[in-house]
Amino acid sequence: MSLEHILLGLLREPASGYDLKKLFEERLSHIWRAELSQIYPTLKRLERRGLVDSREAAARRGSGRRLYALTKAGRQELHVWLSGPPQFADERMAWVAQLYFMGELEDLDQTMRFLGSVRAHFAAKLAALSAIQRMWTAADPRYPRDLPVEDLHVHFALRKGMCSLAAHIEWCDESVAELTARLEARSSGTSREPGAAEEAP
Amino acid sequence: MSLEHILLGLLREPASGYDLKKLFEERLSHIWRAELSQIYPTLKRLERRGLVDSREAAARRGSGRRLYALTKAGRQELHVWLSGPPQFADERMAWVAQLYFMGELEDLDQTMRFLGSVRAHFAAKLAALSAIQRMWTAADPRYPRDLPVEDLHVHFALRKGMCSLAAHIEWCDESVAELTARLEARSSGTSREPGAAEEAP
DNA sequence: TCCGACATGTAATGGGTTACATGATTTT
DNA sequence: AAAATCATGTAACCCATTACATGTCGGA
Tens digits of residue pLDDT in A134-157: 999 999 999 999 999 999 999 999
Q: Which nucleotide is nearest to A57 (CA to C1')?
A: D7
Can you tell me the distance from the alpha carbon of B165 to that of A171, in angstroms, rounded to the nearest whole number? 12
Beta bridge partners of B53: B69
DSSP reduced 3-state for A151: helix
Of A93, A99, A164, the residue nearest B164 (C-alpha) = A164
Q: How many CB pairs under 8 A join A and B?
A: 203
Reported as half-sphere exposure (CB side, CA atoms, 13 A), residue A1 has a value of: 11
Alpha-helical runs (H) found in chain B: 2-10, 17-27, 36-48, 72-83, 94-101, 108-139, 149-188
Most confident of A96-100, A196-200, B189-193: A96-100
Report, as an integer, the average pLDDT of B58-72: 89
Task: Give me the pLDDT at residue B189, please.
Answer: 65
Question: Where on strand D do bases come within 7 A of a protein Cβ?
Answer: 5-11, 14-20, 23-26
Give residue A189's pLDDT band: very low, low, confident or very high (50, 70, 90).
low
pLDDT score for A136: 96
HSE on the CB side for A79, CA within 13 Å? 11
pLDDT score at A54 = 96
The answer to whether A2 and A33 are in contact (CB under 8 A) is no
| pLDDT above 70: percentage of residues in chain B | 94
Q: Right CATH number for B2-83 from 3.40.50.10260, 1.20.1300.10, 1.10.10.10, 3.30.830.10?
A: 1.10.10.10
| Minimum mean pLDDT range among A47-61, B7-21, B181-195 | B181-195
Question: Alpha-carbon distance A162 to B103, whole Å?
Answer: 20
- pLDDT at residue number A90: 85
CB neighbour class for A123 (10 Å; exposed up to 12, middle 13-18, buried from 19): middle
Residue A55 bridge partners (DSSP): A67
Q: Answer yes or no: is B17 CB < 7 A from strand C.
A: yes
- From the alpha carbon of B62, which nucleotide's C1' atom is closest? D24
pLDDT score for B118: 98
pLDDT of residue A196: 45
| Per-residue pLDDT tens digits for A130-140 | 999 999 999 99
Among residues B88, B83, B167, B93, which one has the least CA distance to residue A125? B88
pLDDT of residue A21: 97
Nearest chain B residue to A12, by CA: B104
Question: How far is residue B163's CA from residue B73's CA, in Å, rounded to a whole number?
Answer: 36
Q: What is the pLDDT of residue B131?
A: 96
Nearest-CA neighbor of A20 among A72, A4, A126? A4
- Minimum-distance CB partner of A164 among B105, B152, B164: B164
Nearest-by-CA chain B residue for A11: B101
Contacts of A33 in chain B (CB under 8 A): 90, 92
Domain map (residue ranges) of chain A: 2-83, 94-188
**Other Cβ atoms within 10 Å of A138 Cβ, number:** 9
Rounded distance between C-alpha atoms, residue A107 and residue B43, angstroms: 28
What 3-state DSSP class applies to B194?
Answer: coil
| B125 neighbors B165 (Cβ within 8 angstroms) | yes
Alpha-carbon distance A33 to A39, whole Å?
10
Average pLDDT on B177-187 reads 90
